[in-house]
Amino acid sequence: MSQLPHHVAIVMDGNGRWATKRFLPRIAGHKQGVDSLSRCVKACLERGIAVLTVFAFSSENWNRPSEEVSGLMDLLVFALAREVPTLNAQGVQLHFVGDRQRLSGKVQDGLAQAELGTSNNQRLIFNVCFNYGGRWDIAQAAQKLASRGEVITEQSLDRAMALAHVPDPDLLIRTGGELRISNFLLWQAAYSELHFSDKLWPEFDEAALDEAIAVFRARERRFGQTSAQLGGQNHRHKEKVA
């Protein structure tokens, strides 16, 4: 395959271990994770990737020690204040994906402002999954359809999902050496190529991204067809992809 992935999704794992190895509090690892994320956005822009989706806070992360949960909330507000002007200058359109109801008013306002302030940008769609879970997304989509009395089909569910504004991810990367999906993009990752990196997220740099892209390009995506049917060509998937 020679195509660049249109949509890259990342489970940014390993912040806590990065900090613990340095005798630092876990939140120091998350702060370093924000810097790594800024570098990753820049690298995606430079490489011409159109959509980046990252897992920043899962529905299950509420079970972490309360100081880590509040630290992550504060970090989100801080990161938005620091990064949104740069994201705007870079042409990045921000979306927050997840259940906002449990977030504080301050965090909810921050998310809404950041989305509004970047809504006209066109170079990169950047989805930050926050208080997100793949099962939550499927359930909320089904509830939406049921409340409107709509028939539930693959297509109608697809349109009701929280990531309906982008095509499915082509490449799903998980850092930190774990070989799990952990409730990320359960619906949308049906045909994503998976890449697992041993690097901890704060250490995931441009070279590591390039390696993941190179591995992706070397794969043959068949979407249920045979290799002979594809004639050595890889085809862009599904009707959502232009």
Per-position x/- string for 34-63, each x denoting binding to ligand FPP as judged by CB under 6 A, each - no binding: x--x------------------x----x--
- Name the minimum Å distance from CB 92 to ligand FPP: 14
- Name the minimum Å distance from CB 68 to ligand FPP: 8
Cβ distance to ligand FPP smaller for residue 183 or 234: 183
Answer yes or no whether residue 201 interacts with ligand FPP by CB under 6 A: yes
CA 211 to chain centre: 18
Q: Which pairs from 65-70 meet CB under 8 Å and 24+ separation?
A: 67/27, 68/26, 68/27
Region from 6-14, 136-144, 148-156, 233-241 binding ligand FPP, contact rule CB under 6 A: 6-14
**How far is the C-alpha of 171 from the C-alpha of 130, rounded, in Å?**
20
Q: Where are the beta strands (DSSP E) in 141-184?
A: 171-174
**How far is the C-alpha of 152 from the C-alpha of 155, rounded, in Å?**
8
Given 4, 17, 183, 196, the residue binding ligand FPP (CB under 6 A): 17
Answer yes or no whether residue 9 interacts with ligand FPP by CB under 6 A: no
**How far is the C-alpha of 161 from the C-alpha of 167, rounded, in Å?**
11
Residues 73-112, interacting with ligand FPP (CB under 6 A):
75-76, 79
Answer yes or no whether residue 176 interacts with ligand FPP by CB under 6 A: yes
CA–CA distance from 187 to each of 81, 95, 183, 204 (Å)?
A: 32, 18, 10, 26
Widest pairwise Cα distance in the chain: 55
- The 3-state DSSP class for residue 213 equals helix
- Name the minimum Å distance from CB 232 to ligand FPP: 38
Answer yes or no whether residue 69 interacts with ligand FPP by CB under 6 A: no
Would you tell me which residues interact with ligand FPP (CB under 6 A)? 12-17, 30, 33-34, 37, 56, 61, 72, 75-76, 79, 176, 201
